[in-house]
Amino acid sequence: MSRQYLGQNFLIDESILEKIASLFKPPGEFGEIGPGHGELTKYLSKKYSDFTVFEKDKNLVPLHKTLKNYRVVEGDFLDWDFNLQNKQIENFSFIGNLPYEAGTAIVKRICERPSQVVHFLFLLQKEVVERLCAKPHTRDFGSLSVLVQGQFDVEALDIVRPEAFNPAPQVMSQLVGGFRRENGAHPVSSKYNQFVQSCFLHKRKTFRNAIKSKFSKEKIDEVFQDFDLKPTARAEEISVDLWPALFKAFQDG
């Protein structure tokens, strides 16, 4: 039985499962988010003898507890404290055919912990992958693109059709890989994240109009002049690596 509220679209195409497992090259310890019945886990088990799986569905947990080469963390991944066996994880990687409902939230959660996470390989709704990997001046470029690309170098990989799953989802899926940026990663703070999100909130507005209720006219004029921004500039025209400096400029003074 599939629980739709847990995003249970199980992968049934063995060639795709095998491909995902072969693309995954964690440099150290790793975990699989949402192992389900072990569709992907069985391929990972062939290659690795010590890893962790994170499963929210209580009914699926016992199945994993009988197996010896990995441990199970039971519960919502979003509530997990990045601690394993009483130690904070370090340089950890994640893989998973993520539940659609929680996919974006899981990616955001990982981006809040870049010093602990070195790599991810996820299967997500294609539209979400397009937003994660979008470049400035495109329709999909938004706060999710800035927040994820601020921490990880991301790459959109294979597209997976609905027939590869049971039950088949209504939408296309796509693999996305990310490696932690070694230089120039963005600040990790909820204030920074909120700033970026609020600037993209009204995508039809100019950047100036989107922020005018938050900062004084003088401050906005000063920052626009310092950054050489046109009055008509929109948030989606501002490149990923300009955001931390813009944030800092708006906080200063």
Residue type, 44: L
Q: Which residue is nearest to ligand SAM (CB)?
A: 34
Nearer to ligand SAM by Cβ, of 11 and 220: the residue is 11
Minimum CB distance to ligand SAM, residue 44 (Å): 10
Asked if the bond preceding 244 is cis, omega within 30° of 0, the reply is no
57 or 140: CB nearest ligand SAM = 57
Q: How far is the CB of 91 from ligand SAM (least distance, A)?
A: 22
Q: How far is the CB of 198 from ligand SAM (least distance, A)?
A: 26
Our CB check for ligand SAM shows the closer of 98 and 134 to be 98
For residues 38 and 150, which CB has a smaller minimum distance to ligand SAM in the complex?
A: 38
Task: Using CB under 6 A, list all residues that contact ligand SAM.
Answer: 6-11, 33-36, 39-40, 54-57, 60, 76-78, 97, 99, 102
Alpha-carbon gap, residue 146 to 131, rounded angstroms: 10
Query: Any idea which residue has 């799986």 for tokens?
Result: 53
Tell me how far apart the alpha carbons of residues 64 and 66 are, in angstroms, rounded to a whole number. Answer: 5
Distance (Å, whole) CA 68 – CA 82: 22
- Separation CA 119–CA 2 (nearest Å): 29
Question: Exposed, middle or buried: residue 61 (CB in 10 Å: 0-12, 13-18, 19+)?
Answer: middle
Q: How far is the CB of 215 from ligand SAM (least distance, A)?
A: 36
Shortest distance, CB of residue 208 to ligand SAM, whole angstroms?
38
CB of 179 to ligand SAM, least distance (A): 22
In residues, how long is the chain?
A: 253
> Which among 64, 66, 123, 58 is positioned nearest to 94, based on CA atoms?
123
Question: In the complex with ligand SAM, which residue's Cβ is closer, 55 or 236?
Answer: 55
Contacts of 193 (CB under 8 A, 6+ apart): 112, 143, 147
Bridge partners of 173? Answer: 125, 160
Name which of 8 and 193 has its Cβ closer to ligand SAM.
8
